[in-house]
Amino acid sequence: MRRVVLTALAVGLVGILPGCGLVGPGPSEPTGSPSRASAPQTSPGGTTPPGEVVAVDREWHGALVHLDVRPVEVDGSLAVLRYEYSAAPVDPAAELRSSDIVLAFGGLGNSVTDGRGVRLFDTGEGSVHPVARTLGGFPAAAIEQVDDEPDAVRGSAVAVFAAPVNESVDVLFPEFGVVTVPVVAAGDGFDSAVEQVGGVGDAETKNLRAFTQAYDDESRTSAQDGDVTVTLASDVLFASDKHTLSTSARNVVDKAAASILEQADDGEVRVVGHTDDVDTDAYNQKLSDRRARSVAEHLRAQLGGDYSVTEEGRGETEPVADGTSPEARAANRRVEIHFQGHLVVERDATSDVPETDAPTAKNSAVTYSSDNGEYTVEVRSMVRRPEALVGTLVAERVAGESIDGAWFLPAHAGIVGDRAFGTLAEAAGPHNLSLLGGSDRVLPFDYVTEKRPGGFVVRRLLGDEQVTPLELGERTLITVVWPDTGQDTVTVDAPDRFRITDVPVTDPPTGD
């Protein structure tokens, strides 16, 4: 008997609640989809949770899957998310494997360590909530299989998070999409749900970081929780082991000054110099001091008396890239300009949008080749959320036989902006998937999940961290969340892979 392997689930919206629903593609209910009545109406803990459900149906890998997402319940600093699922094969001769359902929906076991799991997020607040940890350090989540038959799989899941603060919250399901649900007061089964997952020892809220990189690669800008950092590459500013700004380097600092004038909320500016780990600690400290001073002096002249500019050097103590490769050391040689403010993305072109030799399409599917296969990709939706855009792409493998793990964005292409993500994610993740602004690439939101000795941090993407390797004829959904560019149409660009222009931005359902 042929088996239907549910290693991933893709999307198509069926129904939404008034005020909440799916952030993604338009309606498409497959014929013969699993009945809502067949989905279990209780969650781990044995109690029917309060509130209405957001119901979504999907078709993927020859299976029809139904998902009921309950409102997020809040009690104090904790929140409980519950959802029920059911699945049936499209082909009656096929057999479902419940373990694949659990893996596809779970991702729960990965959310603590590598960010691939179910998460709550609120872009208006600039926050994301990974699954909490139990006292034993495990994910505070459980999946309970109710039915496991060749022609039907049903079950329910519960996960605990830090409590969101608003009346609704977005839920990101790996390779399934984003669903917006209400936030409500906890019902009678809240405590039993927390006990079901093993209790909670640590529930964190992470701050989202917005990130852009100039087309000329001379600077990049990040914004997190009101702190804006403009990073200038030392190799652009200074000759080797020197601290004097060249004429071209002064132009780069001038652009940074213009950004400060547009984006700063007050007049306090800090300039911080950093070096790589070549030479001694003492030498690097002095070099970073001198380089910071050179940039600060030029900024003072450009900003005028309304701004207070201070400088300091930190030598090699705060690397942004791990290792001793030439690329890592180049990333660590930098001057950072810090100020309180907000990220501004230029809508209209102030510099030339980078040309590409990659296949390009105007708001339609594009076909391109990777090392081991050929794929089609299309943008199904681009939905505006508070200060953010949620994009959903659907990709299908149309040629090639061997598994192509790094098919989407190959590791050798590097990570735009020298951001640090997990090894597997960097090999096959959508981290470089950009929206093209007037003068910058706008990269997906990210957040810190691990701080390592020596100041190095590991970041995670707000979206699908790893794009599933595809067999011939298989499709997958890719969800990515970017800072809002303010544009009515956007260009989605995967460097060296594809570019899709003129993608319309839509608003969420009324009342959301």
Check which CATH number belongs to the domain holding 454 and give it.
2.60.40.1240
User: How many domains, in total, are found in the chain?
Assistant: 3
DSSP at 36: G
Q: Is position 309 within any domain?
A: yes
User: pLDDT at position 334, please?
Assistant: 94
Whether residue 134 is found in the same domain as residue 274: no
Whether residue 316 is found in the same domain as residue 378: no
Whether residue 380 is found in the same domain as residue 303: no
Whether residue 23 is found in the same domain as residue 111: yes
Give the span between the Cα atoms of 266 and 220, in whole angstroms: 21
User: pLDDT at position 27, please?
Assistant: 39
Whether residue 59 is found in the same domain as residue 147: yes
Q: Is position 414 within any domain?
A: no
3-state secondary structure at position 11: coil
* Residue that is last in its domain, among 157, 172, 206: 206
Whether residue 319 is found in the same domain as residue 460: no
Q: Is position 213 within any domain?
A: no
Whether residue 61 is found in the same domain as residue 185: yes
CB 157 within 8 A of CB 141: yes
Whether residue 319 is found in the same domain as residue 468: no
User: pLDDT at position 402, please?
Assistant: 76
* Residue that is last in its domain, among 175, 206, 237: 206
Identify the CATH number of the domain in which residue 275 sits: 3.30.1330.60
Q: Is position 276 within any domain?
A: yes
CA count, 13 A, side-chain hemisphere, 242:
10
Whether residue 87 is found in the same domain as residue 153: yes
Dig out the tokens for 194 from the structure: 């927390």
* Residue that is last in its domain, among 295, 311, 341: 341
Q: Is position 115 within any domain?
A: yes
CB 410 within 8 A of CB 384: no
DSSP at 372: S
Q: Is position 479 within any domain?
A: yes
Give the span between the Cα atoms of 173 and 177, in whole angstroms: 5
DSSP element (H, E) containing 259: helix 247-263
pLDDT tens sequence for the chain (512 residues): 333 333 223 232 223 333 467 676 643 433 333 333 333 344 433 344 556 889 988 766 567 778 899 999 999 999 999 998 888 877 776 666 556 555 555 545 444 444 457 899 999 999 999 999 998 888 888 888 776 666 778 888 899 999 999 999 999 988 778 999 999 999 999 999 999 988 999 899 999 999 999 998 889 999 999 999 999 999 999 998 999 998 889 999 999 999 999 999 989 999 999 999 999 999 999 999 999 999 999 999 999 989 999 999 999 999 888 788 888 898 899 999 999 998 888 877 666 788 999 999 999 999 998 878 899 999 999 999 999 999 999 998 899 877 776 677 665 557 888 788 877 777 778 989 999 998 899 999 999 988 877 667 888 999 988 787 888 888 888 999 999 999 999 999 998 899 999 999 999 766 54
Whether residue 148 is found in the same domain as residue 30: yes
Give the span between the Cα atoms of 185 and 463, in whole angstroms: 27
Dig out the tokens for 137 from the structure: 């350090």
DSSP element (H, E) containing 334: strand 334-341
User: pLDDT at position 24, please?
Assistant: 66
Q: Is position 446 within any domain?
A: yes
Rounded to whole angstroms, what are the CA distances from 116 to 110, 156, 174, 467, 468?
6, 19, 6, 10, 12
Whether residue 302 is found in the same domain as residue 370: no
Give the residue from 354, 73, 26 showing the smallest Cα distance to 193: 73
The DSSP bridge pattern shows strands 152-162 and 141-149 to be antiparallel
Whether residue 271 is found in the same domain as residue 323: yes
Could you tell me the residue range of the domain that residue 184 belongs to? 3-206
Number of Cβ within a 10 Å radius of residue 240: 8
Q: Is position 406 within any domain?
A: no
